[in-house]
Structure 1
């Protein structure tokens, strides 16, 4: 009976699978096919093999029923080119690049129209665009700057959540790179063109482009989307603080933050950089070769002394944690209980994370509050590991004595048995 049911299920699966695949294939083609029946623009362009370059059948506009006339105007019901492309019927053809933002804004800035597709859709993209560096230059007549179609494409527009989209998180740097990494194209703007290369090697770029972590920041997370601008002195900290909130809050309360404002220095990038942000490590603190502190502080001043103290506090804690990890590994190898040691190490490591964040107070006392607790946990882990190792050796000795005793007992019994056998033979 079970075999019969299994056979039925397999038959259904094998039968429905191809149907589902066929259905998906049909969905991909029906966007254009259904328009051919009612839209002479599409029908004619297909007949003439003159469909727009880059057109994708699953373009978001096609999927919701908007065809050529939805953007370019005209009369899609007529197969007469003069009628279909009559300006009197609203035909505008290919818009001038300077008109593209307003061209797209005819729909995307109309809340009543856009609500048909997404009730909570934003409709301020065009307004934001004209506050951006791109938008301001476009208003001045610079047609080299990016407009909607440069970033979103013209006929292969997908939701930003779709991996095929040119503005999907992992694709954003590539999209921006098309212009910003071209030295010839960007020559007149007198700005660097190595941003992508630096970003790709940074901790953010490695996370996004290599590990595909879409939570990592791309260009638009720092510069903005439609209102893209280089972050200014007053906003750079807030940009970084969107993710690194605790670091920002600690820093803003420091004397250094006040001095940075007076000197027109950017909050975070003076130590961490911007496009080429390296992974942080404890050597950035202190007075060693990799330290950022010595870029500003000279030997003997308060900042120099604080850097030395903070680095030592972090070193003491990391050393204790590393020692505990080595002992924990030994405990695991010998098969003893490491569960409590693991919990203590997690607590110690959490305190280390807190301490590294509190570094942004530049106050050794506040850092010590975290490292002190972490050291206590690490030392407890070390002590517990040593006790487990000691217990292991105690058990080995006990086992050795027990084995020796058992062996001697067996030998004694063997000798006694042989003695009894010998006596029985002599009596017989």
Structure 2
């Protein structure tokens, strides 16, 4: 049963209600290890599905273009206040619809089309919106990319500095989507200052770890910080932008009216709830447990012969190179999904295969940590992972079904926020 329940939807549109229940059951029975996914609390779900979705609120609190904002204004101000307190920032904008628009707002605030920007290349673990060629940011700006080192998979800071001083970018991006190690924000800041660039930190993946004290913060180093509000932060599908007071006006103007109209007030409410939850002492325990689980899983996978990019992890994420196993990332991801382990295929640094059929897998521990799994469960997770890859190699569908059943049996003892079988 969905929590909160869906009685009206069940009557009005039983097909949609059925699909939602089926998705909830799927999420309950699988090890959900896509690094960008998590489970939100019932309170976040309730806020997301509230009557706030009915209200249009173009503009900012106390400066709207529509009437009837007596409730929405203090709600948005509450979300901003909680974001500033939790992350220790001078300014917070909670209106961006998602991470990519938040990053686009940074471009609009600090650069013009054709300007040079510097970011980590997508195949090296960066994000599409850090100037990759298939993104609007790669089409509209002169994007230059730095890499990670071949020998250890870590960011090549000598290259970052050389490129920054040679190209003089308007913006330098740090952060990415497949970086298993701690981001050295002070070193990026030093290079940005030397090059006269704005340093933008994209912490979408690690925002919850930063809030929980399990990863260093970019505050005090980066001029502007973007983040989604889901992933490790366990909020709704939204985004935030933080900045120093100096850049507040430019950031706000870029979000509205630069890129979007009215904010999604139901999402703003859910962000406020998630920020309150992240300020609780228990969230610090949760963030620490994510890292413990990732490190324990990394060790167990290495013991089973898997090659991890950078040799391990400092956060919620692992990147696995399957080249030595003789299988591609895409068929492996599909086999693992059949076996009850949900993750995604992913390029690895200097991959020789195509992006849609790469050599790697990306997985994270945020979701299974929310379910209550600890480091003591990680050897068994690694065993299921290894057995699933072996089943693919042997074309053993029965083994996949057996593993899926064992995983569902384990997870039956770990409640899922938002859904219950009874």
Q: Does the TM-score normalized on the shorter chain lie above 0.5? A: no
Greater Cα radius of gyration, structure 1 or 2: 1
TM-score (normalised: structure 2): 0.26
Decide which structure has greater helix share. 1
With structure 1 as the length reference, what TM-score do the two structures score? 0.25
